[in-house]
Chain A
């Protein structure tokens, strides 16, 4: 089973995000970066497929500045076989279409039975790259996936996905693009031997020119701002439960007018 896993390096969820003074983006100094949590599920699932079929390969594909190598290296330490790092100034902070275009071009230069993406990256929160990649490669997509069963002949998969208020089970022909959702699995930690081995695993660096693409941005952002400041309201301390319950319920009705 050959899996291609698309991976993005993002600020750790503990990060306090600050907007830069001219509002053109966020302050990046001091940020600790990690693998996008949804992409970790993808790495884990690809590793499990390789283990199940006792053959194959897990190929990591990432777009990002130099630091993204660390995220690829972490996935290699988890057990992935090799990496492709698309590093190109013209692709930094790109919109989902440009990213999907670059991923598609890179995917076209590799062999795969299945492609995994996180269902969204927790930095820009677009959640579009996976479905766009599928469309650009003319492949089926199954998004928000929580369970994957590949048929022994590797021609199709039975996949469970989250839908509003429930679950959908679908049968999808391979190759396809799946986007990983929480619940898919519990990602493993990199072992010490894994970390040592990862240092020798190959990471192939590519530029936009290597992929034969010249990105044309589709979206533009500006006027970054912090969320409206929320301040503590009324605090009820040391009151008897029936009294405080009455006071708060009345306030929700008469003051906040939300019930």
Chain B
């Protein structure tokens, strides 16, 4: 019996790391509940990832194939996921709080008559009840949440749960699915993706962020640092920089932007408003570079550099390039 079920997100023909994070956490929870861990994958290309999920502790992989599932669509994916959940009756369902997960989880939950405990950063079992700890007010406080209806649906913040290998079968079971076409949905006309492979802020392991102190839209120095760190790093911005039109809104970190949890957050020319500090305060390590020694960002920074970012960042880039080239 599948006690715990995860939804594995596939993007650009690859399974996302968040799927392995969920599998690793799901394995622990399934063991705690004394049952199996299953995963749901969508689309004809999905079967190839079953063995990867098996490596991270998944017993059974349900692969749902239908022409409508070849690209993401809210309604079709929610129908398919709700159907598998209704058929297999897991006690716990885990998704990732990614851009897709944010769209998929609530619609699926509503089909099942439940709500999702969204954006959890840790889980624990209290008997057979799953407890998810999640930030609220963009991280200004936390609370523990439980689901009172079945299935207990939760989503996890990307890049927070540890991955751990724990080989299980990862056996594939195909699920027959026909779209309920009485429901209308949107059709995708164009998908323009950044082909540089830039990772989304919410999933980045390193974020190099710039604020008012950047003085303009030239973020070359920060982009250079991010590219030295590699594909898991990306560039962010404060609200001041976004509102000034220097950076796109999708780069904004903070209470009215994105809440982020990277391993390393480098704040350049960001004074540290309460909204910004809420949005990045749970980063593992924070480096702040600011000319103003009184900037609030220094109260949260593990390494605070009181200096001109335009002088320090090029030097850091030199050091990093040398170090990471080794």
Contacts and interface: CB of A to CB of B under 8 A. Distances in A.
Nearest to B264: A258
A251 B250 contact: no
Nearest to B198: A165
Contacts of B206: 258-259
A119 to B, nearest CB: 8
Given A170-B189, A249-B316, A128 B109 contact: yes
B321 to A, nearest CB: 10
A245 B316 contact: yes
Contacts of B248: 183
Interface stretch (A136-144, A187-195, A202-210): A136-144
A17 B140 CA distance: 6
Contacts of B188: 168-170
A225 B141 contact: yes
Interface string B84-120: 0000000000000011101101110111011111110
Interface string A229-245: 01111111111011011
B304 A235 contact: yes
Main secondary structure of the interface of B (DSSP, over half): mixed
A164 B110 contact: no
A123 B263 contact: no
A182 B306 contact: no
Contacts of B282: 227
Interface in A181-231: 181-183, 217-227, 230-231
Contacts of A100: 110
Given A132-B106, A135-B78, A226-B141, A123 B99 contact: no
27 contacts: A13-B255, A18-B141, A19-B141, A96-B115, A119-B102, A125-B259, A128-B105, A128-B118, A131-B103, A140-B184, A141-B103, A143-B102, A163-B99, A163-B100, A163-B193, A164-B99, A165-B198, A165-B199, A167-B191, A172-B187, A220-B148, A221-B143, A230-B286, A233-B301, A241-B311, A241-B315, A256-B303
